[in-house]
Amino acid sequence: MNISEILSPKFTEFDIGTPLSKVAGAFENQELDAVVVTDGDEYRGVVSRRQLASSSNQPSAKVGSRVQHVPTVNRTADVREVARLMIGSGAKTLPVLDDDRVVGIVTGDSILEAVQSFLSAVTVADAYTEKLISAAPDTTIGKALNTLREGRIAHLPVVDDGEAVGMVSLYDIVDFTTRGGTKSQGGSPGNFGGRHGGERHGGLGAREGDSDRMLDLPVRNLMSDVVVTVRRSAPLDEVVETMFEREISSLVVLGDQSSEPIGVVTKTDVLEALTWEQEDRNAVQVFGLDLLDGMDYDGVSALIENMTSKYGDMSVIKASIELHEHKEQSRGMPLVLARIRLVTDRGYFTADGEGYGASHALRLAANKVERQILKGKTYRRSKKRPDSREQETLYGWWLTGDSFDFPEGNE
């Protein structure tokens, strides 16, 4: 199955000289995940909603200074390969290029819509993030913001006495603290990124611009009081359906026999489930292998094995390596961005490295991952690998190369 039927020719585009304040306004007024950045007719990269919310931005700064280099795809790219690229790059919107010009975009949502009917073979238990990162109602907004940024997550469940009582998003906090709240406005004065629904608690009484005081407020004053939950045994097609119906991107996972929250399942988790290989496939995936100088696939696999074998019984479930070449060169050697995402039985590690030549960039990224492993720093807990029989049921139709017909309603 390729993306030709699901790519969108409509996208929002900005020149590299556009002020960030104008770009932020576009995110506020539209349901955008990312915008395309160009220099004249030349594609330069993207800037995502999450990227703006996760960093300190001067309104007078230009969007070109925040460009993120993400993989580009063509019209005939395989949907599973695109899902891999999204997971590997952390981007949920990828530009579709034709003769080096952007002709459309493909989003994570469009992929999930296309494959939803095939997701009934796998359950939440196979995909969700098992360690629940949460906040208490009296946690300060400032501490919640730090938790979101350090965990590289966008939504934080609020748990009180073992029960999920609310949800707060990175976008709501950033919007509130940068634009200010009032008693009449309640928690979130705008709609910047608020996608989980529900009413927010009012009566904050914070003065406009008084960011320090706002960060000291308890998160209960800002959270949404609607929490959507799902049982651990629920099939993923129902999860995706709920996400689209409720216009949310994450659900709190409950145990099958209790109402205690045990984790979170997100759209990213479901996309990642699409990338799992059968047991006899290689655990190391390399995107941009042709860019490597003086190193082949076996060399990359050996690099990953050597990096992880130093730390005891660590099993690599999957390693995703993405290489992206910039136009900048030094002595004929191109500047390359290497990104490593490592899923192990001890956690999830990720790091970037940038250097002249792909091999140099890859080793820099590997050094950063190794330091994270040494410190025991993980961004997410690892997941259980799906049962091989479930994989065959779910993925057989595209692993075998069979043609795919869109189910009714997705055409």
Q: Are residues 226 and 172 in the same domain?
A: yes
Look at 22-36, 48-62, 272-286, 327-341 and tell me which has the smallest mean pLDDT: 272-286
Per-residue pLDDT tens digits for 262-320: 889 999 889 888 776 544 345 677 877 778 877 888 888 888 888 877 766 677 777 87
Q: pTM of the entire structure?
A: 0.63
Contact (CB, 8 A) for 129 and 288: no
pLDDT digits (tens, 9 = 90+) for 126-140: 888 877 889 999 999
Q: Looking at the predicted structure, is the pLDDT value of residue 326 above 60?
A: yes
Residue 320 shares a structural domain with residue 241: no
In this structure, which amino acid lies at residue 249? S
- Residue pair 203/125 in contact (Cβ under 8 Å)? The answer is no
My answer on whether 26 and 66 are in the same domain is: yes
Residue 389 lies in a domain: no
- Domain membership of residue 112 (yes or no) is no
CATH number at residue 353: 3.30.160.100
Interstrand relation of 250-254 and 229-231 (parallel, antiparallel or unpaired)? parallel
CB 92 within 8 A of CB 82: no
- Residue 259: give the domain boundaries: 126-273
Is residue 381 one of the residues assigned to a domain? no
Query: Is the residue at 8 inside a domain?
Result: yes
Instruction: Give bridge partners of residue 251 from the DSSP assignment.
Output: 265
Q: Say how many domains are in the chain.
A: 3
C-alpha 4/C-alpha 76 separation (Å) is 6
Structural domain contains residue 384: no
Domain end residue (candidates: 240, 273, 306): 273
Q: Residue 246 burial (CB < 10 Å; 0-12/13-18/19+)?
A: middle
The CATH number of the domain where 238 resides is what?
3.10.580.10
Report if residue 409 sits inside a domain.
no
| 292 plus 268 within the same structural domain | no
335 and 252 part of one domain: no
CB 365 within 8 A of CB 338: yes
Helix 297-309 and helix 358-375, axial crossing angle in degrees, nearest 10? 20
